[in-house]
Amino acid sequence: AQSVTQLDSHVSVSEGTPVLLRCNYSSSYSPSLFWYVQHPNKGLQLLLKYTSAATLVKGINGFEAEFKKSETSFHLTKPSAHMSDAAEYFCVVSEGSGGSNYKLTFGKGTLLTVNP
Amino acid sequence: DTGVSQDPRHKITKRGQNVTFRCDPISEHNRLYWYRQTLGQGPEFLTYFQNEAQLEKSRLLSDRFSAERPKGSFSTLEIQRTEQGDSAMYLCASGSGPYGYTFGSGTRLTVV
């Protein structure tokens, strides 16, 4: 069975400072991993995805994430936060071809607050 | 490609009433998923279709819930005898392979 743990329910940063949102996963198979962002009253938007190619994945809006199999982690980072980054972020795992139906399992989310 | 469409965007219903939501996936996508998201939580998997076949249902999907995808195109999710605990955002997503998922904007259900 697959699962995701987002280690922080709320992260607060100042504008222009680095962002780190932490995620650990559990999977019986080689996982695909995703980060989604959800702005208030908006739909889910894909930030980036890891699909067993390069372990450092670059996404939209300056975000990137590194897949570390030994640590079962997929932390999301950004060098410099912008006010528009304030949103809920979800780490997501899919077990792909070895698992069941490619369904996505979401973490509980991390609320990112960016202070001016 | 017009994305995944969900209708209605909002639904307010009285407890005990039946409601039905519709999802129109991206036309070439053969996979379709329904998720439920409650306040402060991540989306939870409800059910999955590949073409017209419903291949997996979560235990969250009680017998009051039913989903269909006739002809492998649009999908409907019906909730019978709604309860206040059914209040949530219902999300639909479609995909064509293991890595491509597109989510709709969701239907927000409020049961009063």
**Which of A68, A71, A59, A69 is closest to A19 using CA atoms?**
A59
Q: What pLDDT does residue A101 have?
A: 60
> Cα A71–A72–A75 angle (5° rounding)?
90
Q: When comparing pLDDT for B97 and B31, which is higher?
A: B31
Banded pLDDT at B11 (limits 50, 70, 90): very high
Q: How many CB pairs under 8 A join A and B?
A: 54
| Minimal CA separation from A14 to chain B, in Å | 23
Q: Is the pLDDT of residue B98 over 70?
A: no
Q: What pLDDT does residue B101 have?
A: 83
Q: What pLDDT does residue B71 have?
A: 86
* A34-57 mean pLDDT: 88
Q: Which residues pair with A87 in a beta bridge?
A: A112
Distance of CA A80 to the CA centre of its chain: 17
Testing the interface with A: which of B5, B99, B102, B105 to mutate, by most A Cβ within 10 A?
B99
Q: What pLDDT does residue A99 have?
A: 44
Distance (Å, whole) CA B41 – CA A105: 12
Q: What pLDDT does residue A97 have?
A: 54
One-letter amino acid of B41: Q
From start to end of chain A, where are the E strands?
3-6, 10-14, 19-21, 23-26, 32-38, 44-50, 56-58, 64-68, 73-78, 87-94, 104-106, 110-115
Do the chains contact at A109 and B101, CB–CB below 8 Å? no
Give the one of A43, A97, A107 whose C-beta lies nearest to B105's C-beta.
A43
Do the chains contact at B98 and A32, CB–CB below 8 Å? yes
A38, two tokens: 């959800």
Q: Which helix (H) or strand (E) holds B5?
A: strand B5-7
Q: Is the pLDDT of residue A65 over 60?
A: yes
Half-sphere exposure of B65 (CA within 13 A, CB side): 18
Do the chains contact at B98 and A94, CB–CB below 8 Å? yes
pLDDT tens figures, A73-108: 999 999 999 999 999 999 999 865 544 467 888 999
Q: Is the pLDDT of residue A113 over 60?
A: yes
Testing the interface with A: which of B7, B96, B101, B108 to mutate, by most A Cβ within 10 A?
B101
One-letter amino acid of A97: S
Q: What pLDDT does residue A98 have?
A: 46
| Minimal CA separation from A17 to chain B, in Å | 26
Report yes or no: A6 and A78 within 8 Å, Cβ to Cβ: no
Distance (Å, whole) CA B26 – CA A54: 28
Report yes or no: A24 and A31 within 8 Å, Cβ to Cβ: no
Banded pLDDT at B110 (limits 50, 70, 90): very high
Set of chain B residues whose Cβ sits within 8 Å of the Cβ of A90: 42-43
Report yes or no: A34 and A94 within 8 Å, Cβ to Cβ: yes
pLDDT tens figures, A1-32: 789 999 999 999 999 999 999 999 998 777 88
Set of chain B residues whose Cβ sits within 8 Å of the Cβ of A105: 45
Distance (Å, whole) CA A92 – CA A107: 6
Is A100 within 8 Å of chain B by CB? yes
Q: Is the pLDDT of residue B85 over 90?
A: yes
Set of chain A residues whose Cβ sits within 8 Å of the Cβ of B33: 103-104
Do the chains contact at A105 and B99, CB–CB below 8 Å? no
